[in-house]
Amino acid sequence: MRILGVSGSLRAASFNSALLRAAADLAPDGVTVEPYGLHDLPLFNADVEADGDPPAVTAWKDAIRAADGILFACPEYNAGITGVLKNAIDWASRGDPAPLTGQVACIVGASPGMTGSARAQDQLRLILRRTLTHVAPIGEILVFQAHTKIEDGQLKDERTTALLGSHFQRFVDEVRERRGRARA
């Protein structure tokens, strides 16, 4: 099973990208988390789209189509998702069928504040509902005070690691069930 790991932060020392690395380490046998960087995506522009997707957009859409599921690590900027992530979703919401349509997704998030990106995660759920992406109904991972739990890009907090591991396992189970149902 191939899970695409998508961080909404471009920051080298991103707490959210660190969560994706931790999830990759916790992945059950036979499951890989492949990080996908959003650095090269241009800003969405319908005029550009009308001339044909730029190569970076085609690569992004192909990566979504090739994946069995998407693990979003969702930072919070001003009580919402980052522009980087919204832009990437906007590109992937286009096409017939759009790459996000019918995909299975999981959301995690971290912030140095006390709410652990809760508001951004709620907003992301709403956006993904609009794109007909199935967000696994498996509860939330809100890594609050992330600077006390993630050091040098590594998740160090044992409780958070255990929660992330069981969350990820539930996501894998959900992907298996949905994919199995689609094949049946």
Q: Which residue's entry shows tokens 């599921």?
A: 69
d(CA 161, CA 33): 16
The dihedral over CA atoms of 31, 20, 35, 119, expressed in degrees to the nearest 10, equals 120
**What is the number of alpha carbons within 13 Å of residue 145 lying toward its C-beta?**
6
Q: Whose structure tokens read 């979003």?
A: 72
CA distance 166 to 26: 9
Of 6 and 104, which has the nearer Cβ to ligand FNR? 6
> 3-state class of 108 per DSSP?
strand
Q: How far is the CB of 138 from ligand FNR (least distance, A)?
A: 21
Q: Which of 16, 103, 123, 160 binds ligand FNR (CB under 6 A)?
A: 16
The single residue among 111, 121, 123, 131 that binds ligand FNR, judged by CB under 6 A, is 111
131 binds ligand FNR (CB under 6 A): no
Using the rule CB under 6 A, is 101 a contact of ligand FNR?
no
The identity of residue 161, as a single letter, is T
29 binds ligand FNR (CB under 6 A): no
Binding mask 76-95 for ligand FNR (x = CB under 6 A): xxxx----------------
Q: How big is the CA angle at 91 (ends 73 and 44), to the nearest 5 degrees?
A: 110
DSSP state of 117: T
Residue among 113 and 165 whose Cβ is closer to ligand FNR: 113
Selected from 22, 31, 72, 75, the binder of ligand FNR by CB under 6 A is 75
160 binds ligand FNR (CB under 6 A): no
Number of residues that bind ligand FNR (CB under 6 A): 15
**Which positions touch ligand FNR (CB under 6 A)?**
9, 11, 14-16, 75-79, 111-113, 115, 117
